[in-house]
């Protein structure tokens, strides 16, 4: 797992504490009922804070799976990735 | 704290044993991250605890407040914003800022504040932390933003009067505007983009800071009990042994105002219940001379004890802790010498040591705030003003007992002791404080949250007994609290604490005698749990049941009568 994926996984685990890390790797809005709009906003703010991003709220519509969020963060994160496990 | 840390704390706290702390966040905006930060800060104040947060409907702060049932929560945090007072003061309404509407806005604000005030009062006795609007006012008035308009002045005046009215109620803790201004920059508080898109008006930084301060009112950290101070170049400027008592200074004229400010704060702390002691490497006679000066701001009668000799400071600390009968983690030591601080810290790792910054006024100002933070109280109780005097009289009492130990009965017989028992179940801050800070004479070491204590008081089948004590050495105020239930023929005591200042007076015997007499029962059962620190309680129970382990935790009346020494107190009962 890349360091970015690991950090992202930390975020998802924090937002969905009842789901396992493995489950979250392939999770989507459909597979997790508690992934509602308010959770989406929490996740968005978390990503902004953790990855120093300025994410438009309209992006929430596109954040429909962990993979989609990963793709977005990988493409937009400007801050250098922290070493694995930091 | 950032959002990820907050979420992790909440997730960790979910596994904590015990009943979760039930918190209601009452606001008119979408609770979102305020809820997250509040839960995390409340969970992590003191030992980690599980927290459940509930909230009401969006856009209806007053309705949420009015619907809140105190019996269903342990505490509430009420976060008021301008839009809750009149939607036209918020960003999500466009009701008009026409100058002709300003008086109507003010009128609406007054009406809403009236409703909020009534609803806040009805949440008694549960603790409620209140934050009044922390965001900037929108440019409603016709005046330029830099100029105070009559509208803004009247609005601020209404808010100030409202805040002042809330401070009269012990269960309401209003966040000081100065404190939040100090912690969270005004221009970084509002997140308009978030407010318009999600209904959450705060930046994450502001939400975190606000939540932290509010949580501090709901699960306040343990207050320190005693402060030990050095003298030379700390309480006053100069070395008294070198320049003499007349030459040490603490005034503007002596270029020593920082010491005067420090003395002034210590005098105020002492008058508010903080124990103040002195540890100084000095000649005691010179110290007496300095404290006899008429311009001293910290009078010697506010200090007990004064340890002045040439031995190690840690020895002085040991003697002071013994005189106060408290543990080192409840005490703070201030000295201008890093070496002395290090010596004391090595001997007492749990004792908080702070450097007196004699040459840095800005650092001194911070120290004064720090001390107020460690020793601050929401409101004063009669026992706060008695604490230092009663310790002094306790020391005299103990000295007299020890000098004539062969005849303690004669001594107690002439002590003119008077105990006042009260069974009032009105909320009582002193009783709550005793239950939560007493370690030595404590039946089981259990601590109660404010809401648990309030539920206990409200329970019909429970009794609560509070004992106040005075004798010819002085008054000790309320010194013992006992709570339990009475069934046919038997009483179960499940909470029993007594201040260590009240030892050796047979108050505990008198309490137990009262229980037997009042309920006319044949036995009293104790919900006892051994703790590392409740030795004095164990010794007392052992006088009836013999040494640990006890087969039974019941004291029959016949055994009590047989073993109870003669009690000389006169009694007054307020039922």
CATH number at residue B331: 3.40.50.1000
Residue B485, Ramachandran bin (φ over 0: left; ψ between -120 and 50: alpha; else beta): beta
Residues B322 and B437 in one domain: no
List B140's β-bridge partners, or say none: none
CA distance B210 to chain A (A): 18
- Say if CB B304 and CB B319 are below 8 A apart: no
One of 1.10.1200.10, 3.90.1150.10, 2.60.450.10, 1.20.120.530 is the CATH number of A3-76, namely 1.10.1200.10
* CATH code for the domain in which residue B179 is found: 3.40.50.1110
- CB contact A49 to B (< 8 Å): yes
Residues B441 and B543 in one domain: yes
- CB contact A31 to B (< 8 Å): no
Residues B341 and B435 in one domain: no
Q: Which of B404, B389, B120, B434 is nearest to B276 (CA)?
A: B389
As a whole number of angstroms, the distance between CA B163 and CA B49 comes to 30
Residues B447 and B554 in one domain: yes
Residues B263 and B319 in one domain: yes
Q: Would you state the pLDDT for residue B404?
A: 57
Which of B2, B10, B30 has the CB atom closest to A49's CB atom? B2
Residue of A nearest to B6 (CA): A14
Partner-chain contact B3 A42, CB within 8 Å: yes
For the whole model, what pTM was predicted?
Answer: 0.72
Sites in chain A below the pLDDT cut of 70 = 1, 78-86
- Say if CB B472 and CB B569 are below 8 A apart: no
CA distances from B29 to B34, B201, B223, B326 (A): 10, 7, 33, 46
Residues B290 and B177 in one domain: no
Number of domains in chain B: 3
Q: Would you state the pLDDT for residue A84?
A: 43
Q: Which of B462, B429, B449 is nearest to B73 (CA)?
A: B449
CA distance B11 to chain A (A): 6
Residues B417 and B318 in one domain: no
Q: Which residues of B93-125 are buried (b: 16+ CB within 10 A; e: fewer)?
A: eeeeeeeeebeebbebbbebbeebbebbeebeb
CA distances from B271 to B55, B283, B298, B302, B369 (A): 40, 27, 10, 7, 17
Partner-chain contact A14 B197, CB within 8 Å: no
CA distance B126 to chain A (A): 29
Q: Which of B419, B376, B435 is nearest to B513 (CA)?
A: B419
- B393 within a domain of the structure (yes/no): no
Residues B352 and B457 in one domain: no
Q: Which of B445, B549, B544, B442 is nearest to B503 (CA)?
A: B442
What percent of chain B is modeled with pLDDT above 70? 96
Residues B139 and B87 in one domain: yes
Partner-chain contact A46 B8, CB within 8 Å: no
The last residue of one of the domains, among B338, B358, B375, is B375
Length of chain B: 575
Q: Which of B427, B469, B420, B467 is nearest to B448 (CA)?
A: B427
- Say if CB B481 and CB B435 are below 8 A apart: yes
Partner-chain contact A14 B11, CB within 8 Å: yes
Partner-chain contact A42 B36, CB within 8 Å: yes
Contacts of B16 in chain A (CB under 8 A): none
Write out the two tokens for B421. 């028992």
Q: Exposed (0-12), middle (13-18) or buried (19+): which is B29, by Cβ within 10 Å? A: buried
Among B4, B52, B205, the residue to mutate for chain A (most A Cβ within 10 A): B4
Sign of the dihedral defined by the CA atoms of residues B372, B377, B382, B386, in that order: negative
The last residue of one of the domains, among B375, B391, B419, is B375
Residues in contact with B482: Cβ distance below 8 Å, sequence separation at least 6, in sequence order: B464, B465, B466, B467, B493, B495, B496, B497, B511, B515
Q: Would you state the pLDDT for residue B406?
A: 53
Sites in chain B below the pLDDT cut of 70 = 383-390, 393, 399, 401-406, 575
Q: Which residues form the domain of B239?
A: 226-375
Q: Which of A18, A16, A29 is nearest to A66 (CA)?
A: A29
Residues B50 and B180 in one domain: yes
Which of A17, A38, A50 has the CB atom closest to B11's CB atom? A17
Residues B555 and B421 in one domain: yes
- B513 within a domain of the structure (yes/no): yes
* CATH code for the domain in which residue B439 is found: 3.40.630.30
Partner-chain contact B7 A46, CB within 8 Å: yes
- B362 within a domain of the structure (yes/no): yes
């Amino acid at each position: 797992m890349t360091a970015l994926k690991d950090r992202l996984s930390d975020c998802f685990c924090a937002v969905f504490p009842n789901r396992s890390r493995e489950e979250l790797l392939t999770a989507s809005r459909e597979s997790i009922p508690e992934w509602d709009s308010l959770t989406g906003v929490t996740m968005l703010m978390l990503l902004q804070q953790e990855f120093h991003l300025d994410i438009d709220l309209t992006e929430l519509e596109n954040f429909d799976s962990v993979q989609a969020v990963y793709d977005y963060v990988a493409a937009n994160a400007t801050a250098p990735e922290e070493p694995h496990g930091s | 704290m950032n959002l990820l840390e907050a979420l992790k704390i909440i997730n960790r706290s979910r596994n904590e044993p015990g009943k979760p702390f039930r918190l209601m966040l009452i606001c008119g905006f979408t609770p979102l991250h305020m809820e997250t930060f509040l839960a995390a800060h409340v969970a992590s104040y003191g030992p980690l605890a599980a927290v459940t947060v509930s909230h009401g409907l969006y856009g209806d702060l007053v309705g949420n407040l009015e619907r809140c049932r105190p019996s269903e929560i342990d505490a509430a945090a009420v976060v008021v914003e301008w839009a809750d007072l009149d939607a036209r003061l918020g960003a999500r309404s466009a009701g008009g800022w026409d100058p002709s509407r300003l008086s109507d806005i003010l009128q609406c604000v007054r009406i809403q504040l009236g409703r909020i005030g009534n609803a806040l009062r009805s949440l008694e006795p549960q603790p409620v932390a209140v934050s009044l609007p922390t965001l900037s006012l929108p440019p409603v008035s016709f005046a330029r933003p830099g100029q105070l308009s009559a509208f803004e002045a009247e609005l601020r005046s209404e808010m100030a009067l409202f805040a002042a009215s809330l401070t009269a109620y012990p269960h309401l803790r209003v966040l000081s505007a100065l404190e939040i201004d100090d912690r969270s920059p005004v221009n970084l508080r509002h997140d308009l983009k978030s407010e318009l898109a999600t209904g959450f008006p705060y930046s994450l930084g502001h939400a975190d800071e606000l939540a932290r301060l509010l949580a501090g009112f709901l699960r306040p950290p343990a207050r320190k009990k005693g402060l030990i101070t050095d003298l030379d170049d700390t309480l006053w400027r100069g070395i008294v042994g070198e320049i003499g008592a007349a030459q040490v200074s603490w005034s503007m004229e002596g270029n020593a105002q920082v010491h005067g400010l420090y003395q002034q704060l210590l005098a105020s702390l002492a008058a508010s219940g903080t124990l103040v002691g002195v540890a100084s490497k000095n000649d005691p006679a010179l110290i007496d001379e300095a404290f006899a000066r008429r311009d001293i701001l910290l009078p010697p009668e506010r200090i007990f004890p004064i340890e002045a000799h040439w031995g190690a400071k840690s020895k002085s600390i040991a003697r002071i802790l013994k005189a106060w009968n408290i543990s080192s983690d409840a005490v703070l030591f201030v000295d201008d010498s890093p070496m002395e601080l290090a010596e004391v810290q090595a001997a007492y790792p749990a004792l908080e040591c702070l450097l007196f910054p004699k040459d840095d006024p800005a650092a001194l100002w911070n120290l004064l705030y720090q001390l107020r933070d460690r020793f601050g109280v929401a409101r004063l109780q009669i026992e706060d003003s008695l604490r230092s005097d009663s310790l002094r009289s306790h020391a005299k009492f103990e000295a007299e007992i020890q000098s004539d130990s062969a005849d303690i009965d004669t001594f107690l017989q002439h002590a003119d002791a008077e105990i006042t028992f009260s069974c009032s179940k009105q909320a009582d801050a002193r009783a709550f404080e005793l239950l939560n800070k007493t370690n030595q004479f404590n039946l089981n070491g259990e601590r109660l949250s404010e809401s648990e204590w309030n539920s206990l008081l409200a329970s019909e089948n429970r009794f609560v007994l509070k004992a106040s004590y005075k004798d010819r050495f002085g008054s000790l105020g309320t010194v013992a609290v006992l709570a339990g239930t009475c069934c046919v023929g038997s009483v179960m005591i499940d909470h029993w604490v007594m201040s260590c200042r009240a030892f050796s007076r047979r108050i505990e015997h008198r309490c137990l005698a009262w229980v037997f007499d009042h309920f006319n029962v044949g036995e009293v059962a104790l919900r006892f749990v051994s703790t590392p620190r409740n030795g004095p309680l164990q010794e007392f129970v052992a006088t009836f049941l013999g040494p640990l382990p006890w087969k039974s935790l019941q004291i029959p009346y016949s055994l009590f009568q047989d073993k109870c020494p003669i009690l000389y107190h006169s009694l007054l009962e307020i039922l």
